[in-house]
Structures are given as structure tokens and as C-alpha cells.
Amino acid sequence: MQRRLRDVFQRLLDHFGPLHWWPAETPFEVVVGAFLTQNTAWRNVEQAILGLKQASALTPDGLMNLSREKLEECIRPAGYFRQKAGRLHDFVAYLHLQHGGELQGLLSGPLDEVRRELLSLKGIGPETADSILLYAGHYPSFVIDAYTRRLFGRLGILQGDEDYESIRRLCMDSLTPDVELYNEFHALIVEECKSFCRKQKPLCPSCPLNSICPAAHSVD
DNA sequence: GCCCAGGTGGGTA
DNA sequence: TACCCACATGGG
């Protein structure tokens, strides 16, 4: 499996080049984006992020000082805006109370402990936790999302019924714990899916994984 | 009008 | 544990 995953990674990297994710200017913006992108297209999240930026609310203090009403207005384009507004406010309140309002206070200490702490918070499930750990905290925590499942499913690496933690374990047991590797791999998986997995259903001649894909992207 | 998008949490059997 | 459902907007 190690060689298999390495092969997939190398082919994607050769094709797309390094992507240097996450698309955000600060670690806190990564966190906000991770909440907002839950079951939501990234283009909608971008609008919400822009709204927050214009409201000077892309810092823990700025977000905490924003009224609930104004916060909901800013993030409305990202959907589930009432739920997400509540969870974002809860998060910054927790950060203030437990870590002096400093994200770096939360994102320090051993990976497993920080992950457990994140998972204990309302609105942070495994994918959001791993996105925050990897892209905001620079921890070697592999992110499993819908794209990862779709691509690995098509490549025959997954059956389709594996749960989140087992997929993450599979990846992390097969790859060296390398922040840059995990960062690029996940970014490349997203790029691959956006470029090929969806648009060219029957067959993708230009897809870098075409020759090693048993299903040849023929299934959904 | 319908389907989908970088999930999560609460409820029920 | 295993489903089912609510949560909401915007683009194809």
C-alpha cells in the first residue's frame, strides 16, 4: 500500500505540480474556512470569507466581537449559516476561555491530544479536526474527505464501506508522517477530483491516473 | 426544478 | 452500531 499511495501521489504531483495549500492567509482563516466548507462548495465559502474579511472578523477577537446577526449575514452564502455562526462563536469563546484567545495555544502539544480536544468541540468532526491540524497547526494528520473517498474508491484502494478513522489509519500507516506530503497529497486529490473525477465520467485520456485506475473513472 | 457541494450532531431502533 | 434527518446557499 505504501508503494501504491506513493505512486498515486507522484503521478498527481508530476501532473499538477505543487499546490501549496490551504487557500488562506492565516491559520485562523484556515479554521474558519474548515468550518464553513462543511458540506459546502468552496466557491460559496470564498464569498463568506470575503464578507468576514471586510467586517474585520478574521481574527479570534474580531469574530468574537461581531454580533450574531452580523456574523450570520457575513457567512450566509456558505449555507447552514445559523448553525455555523453558532459554532464559530462557540469556538472563539472556547479559545478565549481556555487558550487566552490564541489559536497557537490550542495548536500546541502532542497531535493526539490536540486532536481529541478539537473533536470534543461542537461542530468539529474528524475531517474538520484534521484540516485544522494539518493546514493551521502543521501537524502530520492526514485529511479524509469526500474527494479522498471518491478517488481512492475508484482506484480500488477502498471498498467504500470503511469508516473515517480506518481510512486515515490506512493512509498514515502507509505514508511517513510528513506535513508537506500530507498537505500536498490532499490538495492534489481535490484538484484531481475537480479536474477529472467529476467532469469526465466515462474516461479521462488526460487524467494522470488513467493508466492505474481499474475502473477508469467509469463509476460515480 | 433538481442535484450536488472539501460534514456534523442529534434522535431512534 | 446502524441508519435517518436537519441544517441552507448557490451553481450547473
What element of type H or E holds A151? Answer: helix A146-154
**Distance of A49 CA from C1 C1′ (whole Å):** 38
pLDDT at A198: 72
The set of residues, in sequence order, having a beta carbon less than 8 Å from that of A111 and lying 6+ positions away, is A133, A139, A140, A141
* pTM of the model as a whole: 0.96
Backbone angles phi, psi at A57, to 5 degrees: -115, 25
Give Cα separations from A23 to A67, A74, A131, A168 (angstroms).
26, 19, 12, 22
pLDDT at A218: 47
Bases of chain B within 7 A of a CB of the protein: 4-10
Give the residue extent of every domain in chain A.
2-20+144-212, 27-136
**Distance of A99 CA from B1 C1′ (whole Å):** 48
Among A196, A193, A203, smallest CA distance to A148 is for A193
The tens-digit pLDDT sequence of chain A (220 residues) is 889 999 999 999 999 999 999 999 999 999 999 999 999 999 999 999 999 999 999 999 999 999 999 999 999 999 999 999 999 999 999 999 999 999 999 999 999 999 999 999 999 999 999 999 999 999 999 999 999 999 999 899 998 889 999 999 999 999 999 999 999 999 999 999 999 877 655 457 788 988 888 865 544 4
- Contact predicate A138/A179, CB 8 Å: yes
Nearest-CA residue to the C1' of C10?
A44
pLDDT at A82: 98
CA angle (A123 as vertex; A195, A48 as ends), nearest 5: 55
CATH level 3 topology of A27-136: Endonuclease III; domain 1 (1.10.340)
Give Cα separations from A187 to A17, A139, A218 (angstroms).
11, 15, 23
CA angle (A126 as vertex; A123, A132 as ends), nearest 5: 80
